[in-house]
Structures are given as structure tokens and as C-alpha cells.
């Protein structure tokens, strides 16, 4: 029964991706026509041009066709992995994205891992010592961390660890070997993790506090189970469900952090590509990146929802029945 519900829920959730993908594609396509003056203005960027050039540009990019036809042509291209070429570098957008996405995924994964490894234990610890000075220190630090913009920390770290102490390399990704690359990602990864750590800590602490008051915990204690077992097996396992609920928020936070961290540390990932594209109003690159981010978020939310449903059977029951 339960597996059937879960399966049905998964299918429903997957089917929902179709309208979402359509919506994303329309938004991305319409980006060009949102530029003041339209796509031609974006192409010529204020350079003096003749009428002939404008006509040629229009013909080349199919701008003289109706919007629906333009969308169809564009969509056919996108489905074959063709986002066009960057206005700035004439490089294929797909190639730049492909060569940079790995770094961004690594950076996000490192940031998330650090955030989980630090946030969950500290949140649990603070909840178990509720009201103590340790609890207050941890909570205070998390408020501090959640209000600290990543670019400020990035610059501070660059100065302190890169320059003053000289512990870590300053910029770039190193000589290409995997080890060196990872070494270059340590500092950026830590910076990435700061805000999500604070978020995870806050949620873990709050839901752990909730758990501690529950009857099943009191029962487990009354049965004489070891405190460690009570906390980790009965408390924490339930306390982590709210963290899973907030995972979408955490992914979005990480993604935003990537932009600043890559920019400051000179890392050639998607975030840095976005900054360059945005500064040059490089529409094809921006389009490609918006699409990647849209897909990224949809897939992340899908995975979060599915794992949530797998952990908590009430979800599938409710969502299937309504």
C-alpha cells in the first residue's frame, strides 16, 4: 500500500516537471525581448550601425519572424543543446557551461557537506543544553553567521588566511591536479558553508527541542535506554525531517553564495560566468545560465520532496488523496 502510494506520488511529481520546464523555457526565451530596445539593442550594445546591419542581424537571429516561430526555432535549438554563442566571446554557450558546471557542483557539494557536518551536531548539542551558556554562544554565533554576507567573509578570509597567514592559495583552481584543485576549494567551500550552516543549526536545534518534549522520548528514557541512544536514534532521526523540508531553501542559498564566492576567489565556475555575462549584458549566456539554474532548482526540489515522502509516509497519503 505504502509503496504504491509512494510510486504514484513520484509519478505525479515527475509529471509536474513538464509544465515547470515549459514555464522556465518561456521565461528564458522572453529574456531577450525584455532588454530595453529588444534583442537588436542587446546585440549592437549602443555601437553605431547602419540599417543594413540591423536587418542582417534580424535575419540571422530570426528576429523578423513572429514571436511563436522564434520560440519554436529557439526551443528546437535548445533541445539539441544549442544555446547560441556568447555575444562577448563568440564561444558556444553550451561549451562554457559544460566546462564550468563541474566546479560549481563541487563547490556546492563541499559547502553543503561542511554545513551538515557542523550544523547538525552543533544544533543538537545546543538543544540538549538548552538555556546554558554553550547554547547561548552557539545561537549567538549562528545569528552572527546568518547575517554575514559571503562576499565580506570571502574578502576577510582572503586577507587573513591567504595573505597574513599564507595557509591557503589566494586565487584560481591551481595546476589542474585533482588534489591541488581540492586544496584551492577549501577556503571557498568554508565561505560557502557559513550561511547554510547557520540555517541548519537553527532548524536542528528548534526541532530537537521539540523532540525532547515528546512522549516517545520520555518513554524511551523511562525504559532506561542510554541517553545517547535516546538522543541520536529516537530524537535526532525525527528532528532531521524539518531540516529536509528546508533543503530547498538551503540549495537556493548555496547557489546564490556560489556567485559571490566564485567571483571573489577567481574560480571559473557558473557563478563567475554569470557575473561576467551580467556585466556585459551577454544575453545568450544569461539565458543558458537561467535555464541551468531553473533545472537545478526543479530537480533539487523534486529530490527533496521524494526523499521527504520516503521518510514520512503521511506526505504521500495526503498528497495522493487530495
Partner 1 sequence: MTVHTKDQPVSLARRVVRSRPPFSIMVAFSFVAAVLVISVVGQALAGSANIQDLASVANPASGDHWLGTDRLGRDVLARVFAGTRTAVIGPLIIASSGLVLSSIFGIAAGYIGGGLDSTIMRTVDFFIALPGLLVAIVAVSVLGGGYGMAIIVLSIFNVQGDIRIVRGAAIEQKGLPYIEALRSLGVKRLRIMWRHMLPNVSPVLVADFAIDFALSLVALAGLSFLGLGSQPGTPEWGGMLAVNQAILFSNPLASLAPGFAIILLAVSVNLIGDWLYDKYTAPDRVRN
* Residues within the interface to partner 1 (CB under 8 A): 31, 34-36, 131, 136, 140, 143-144, 146-149, 151-152, 155-156, 158-159, 163, 202-203, 205-207, 209-210, 242, 246, 248-249, 252, 255-256, 259-260, 263-264, 274-275, 277-279, 281, 283, 286, 290, 293, 297, 301
Q: Which is nearer to partner 1, 7 or 22 (CB)?
A: 22
Least distance from C-beta 46 to partner 1, angstroms? 12
Least distance from C-beta 181 to partner 1, angstroms? 23
Least distance from C-beta 42 to partner 1, angstroms? 8
Q: Which is nearer to partner 1, 51 or 133 (CB)?
A: 133
93-128 vs 237-245: helix axis angle to the nearest 10? 140
Q: Which is nearer to partner 1, 144 or 219 (CB)?
A: 144
CA distance from start to end of the chain: 17
Least distance from C-beta 52 to partner 1, angstroms? 27
Q: Which is nearer to partner 1, 14 or 143 (CB)?
A: 143
Q: Which is nearer to partner 1, 114 or 259 (CB)?
A: 259
Least distance from C-beta 57 to partner 1, angstroms? 18
* Contact predicate 201/122, CB 8 Å: yes
Least distance from C-beta 125 to partner 1, angstroms? 15
Closest CA to 290 of 22, 24, 23: 24
Least distance from C-beta 250 to partner 1, angstroms? 11
* Contact predicate 119/253, CB 8 Å: no
Q: Which is nearer to partner 1, 56 or 152 (CB)?
A: 152
Question: Whole-angstrom Cα distance, residue 121 to residue 309?
Answer: 24
Q: Which residues of 177-198 are buried (b: 16+ CB within 10 A; e: fewer)?
A: eeeebeebbebbbbbbbbbbbb
Question: Whole-angstrom Cα distance, residue 214 to residue 239?
Answer: 11
Instruction: Determine whether 173 is exposed, middle or buried from the number of CB atoms within 10 Å of its CB (0-12, 13-18, 19+).
Output: buried
Q: Which is nearer to partner 1, 175 or 213 (CB)?
A: 213
| SS3 category, 295 | helix
Residue 211 CB coordination number (10 Å): 23
Phi and psi at residue 92, to the nearest 5°: -65, 130
Amino acid at each position: 500500500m505504502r509503496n504504491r502510494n509512494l510510486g504514484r506520488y513520484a509519478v505525479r511529481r515527475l509529471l509536474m516537471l513538464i509544465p515547470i520546464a515549459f514555464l522556465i523555457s518561456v521565461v528564458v526565451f522572453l529574456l531577450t525581448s525584455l532588454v530595453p530596445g529588444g534583442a537588436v539593442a542587446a546585440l549592437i550594445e549602443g555601437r553605431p550601425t547602419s540599417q543594413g546591419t540591423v536587418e542582417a542581424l534580424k535575419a540571422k537571429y530570426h528576429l523578423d519572424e513572429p514571436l511563436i516561430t522564434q520560440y519554436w526555432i529557439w526551443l528546437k535549438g535548445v533541445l539539441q543543446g544549442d544555446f547560441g554563442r556568447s555575444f562577448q566571446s563568440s564561444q558556444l554557450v553550451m561549451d562554457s557551461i559544460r566546462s564550468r558546471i563541474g566546479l560549481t557542483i563541487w563547490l556546492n557539494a563541499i559547502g553543503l557537506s561542511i554545513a551538515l557536518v557542523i550544523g547538525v551536531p552543533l544544533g543538537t548539542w545546543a538543544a540538549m543544553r538548552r538555556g546554558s551558556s554553550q547554547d547561548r554562544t552557539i545561537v549567538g554565533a549562528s545569528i552572527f553567521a546568518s547575517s554575514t554576507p559571503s562576499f565580506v567573509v570571502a574578502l576577510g578570509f582572503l586577507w587573513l588566511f591567504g595573505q597574513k597567514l599564507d595557509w591557503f592559495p589566494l586565487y584560481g583552481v591551481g595546476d589542474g591536479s585533482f588534489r591541488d584543485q581540492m586544496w584551492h576549494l577549501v577556503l571557498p567551500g568554508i565561505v560557502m558553508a557559513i550561511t547554510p550552516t547557520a540555517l541548519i543549526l537553527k532548524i536542528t536545534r528548534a526541532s530537537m527541542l521539540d523532540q525532547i518534549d515528546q512522549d516517545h522520548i520520555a518513554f524511551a528514557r523511562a525504559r532506561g535506554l542510554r541517553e545517547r541512544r535516546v538522543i541520536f536514534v529516537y530524537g535526532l532521526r525525527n528532528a532531521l525531517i524539518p531540516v529536509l523540508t528546508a533543503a530547498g531553501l538551503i540549495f537556493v542559498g548555496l547557489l546564490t553564495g556560489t556567485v559571490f564566492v566564485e567571483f571573489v576567489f577567481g574560480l571559473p565556475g557558473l557563478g563567475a560566468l554569470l557575473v561576467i555575462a551580467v556585466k556585459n549584458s551577454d544575453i545568450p549566456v544569461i539565458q543558458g545560465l537561467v535555464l541551468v539554474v531553473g533545472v537545478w532548482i526543479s530537480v533539487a526540489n523534486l529530490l527533496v520532496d521524494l526523499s521527504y515522502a520516503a521518510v514520512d509516509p503521511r506526505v504521500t497519503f495526503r498528497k495522493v488523496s487530495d
